[in-house]
Chain A
Amino acid sequence: MKARFFYFLAAFLFGAGLELSQMTDPQKVQGFLNLTRSWDPSLIFVMIGAILVNSIVYYTWIKKKETPLFSPKFLIPTSKDITPKLIIGSILFGIGWGIAGFCPGPALSGLFRGQSEVFIVVASMLSGMLIYNVIFERILEKS
């Protein structure tokens, strides 16, 4: 039960942060990516704020702990392999990010607006994820 509260609290703060920073607005995102013409650097400040908090707590506290508070172990990725999957996937994501102006978090948190455009981008995103899971992952498993 306590774990469920933590999931909710973390997601609540995350959604609030995305909304406050206006990263839910595709114009802010595409303004950031429009580096070569008229640039909106706001997204850099979002990342600085988030990374500062995360890094300070991670290096001063979490790294020294054996287990999280309400779960048996930390599930932190440890791989250092730079694979074609990682790079090709990230490039495809970046292209989609540029075209639509949404990344997964702001697309989902923006659903509360009940706006058809947000539903379209979320439905397309979930379809892309499903395509990956159903088709691509099975092909990779077989090969």
Chain B
Amino acid sequence: MTIVNFTPLPALLGGILIGLASTILLVGVGRIFGISGIIGGLFNFDKGDRLWRIIILVGLLVGAFFMHLLANTPDKISALPSSYLIIGGLLMGFGTRLGSGCTSGHGVCGLSRFSIRSIIATVSFMAAGVVTVYFLNI
């Protein structure tokens, strides 16, 4: 194993911003910043519960665009072919709903509270991701 493309400083600073963001949501309105749950909840057919979820979605985009301008991050990202994106996207959407969380809800917020469910979930999805990348040779 060799270490490549390691960017510790932006990663740590970005992580601190993510920590501040999830702390603010918890202190302000008492909610966990779990993105799959927040966005998946848009499909719950409860119209009164939709506005805040849409505000979160807009905020994510505006914040990312702001940082793109500020830190001069790449204009384009290189993604894999559409077949990978479609299959991966479907599994990611379905799996995060079935498993009640993703990298933000389990990986960041849950681990911060030492939630046993989130520790199990994070170990499971990271292990599954490592095995998948190994076998697909991505």
Tell me the total A-B contact number using a CB cutoff of 8 A: 516
For B129, the chain A residues whose CB sits under 8 A away are: 33, 94-95, 97-98
Chain B residues numbered 28-58 whose CB sits less than 8 Å from any CB in chain A: 28-33, 35-36, 39-40, 43-44, 51-52, 55-58
On whether the beta carbons of B3 and A39 are closer than 8 Å, the reply is: yes
For B67, the chain A residues whose CB sits under 8 A away are: 15-17, 19-20
Interface string of B1-36 (1 = CB under 8 A from A): 111111110111111111111111111111111011
For B95, the chain A residues whose CB sits under 8 A away are: 89-96, 128
On whether the beta carbons of A26 and B77 are closer than 8 Å, the reply is: yes
Q: How far is the CA of A90 from the CA of B96 in the complex (A)?
A: 6
Interface size class of B (residues with CB under 8 A): 35 or more
- Choose one: A41, A57, A110, A122; the contact of B77 (CB below 8 Å): A110
Chain B residues numbered 114-133 whose CB sits less than 8 Å from any CB in chain A: 115-117, 120-122, 124-133
For B17, the chain A residues whose CB sits under 8 A away are: 13-14, 16-17, 20, 49
Residues of A within 8 A of B (CB): 2-4, 6-28, 30-31, 33-55, 57-58, 61-62, 65, 67-71, 73-77, 79-82, 85-105, 107-113, 115, 117-118, 120-134, 136
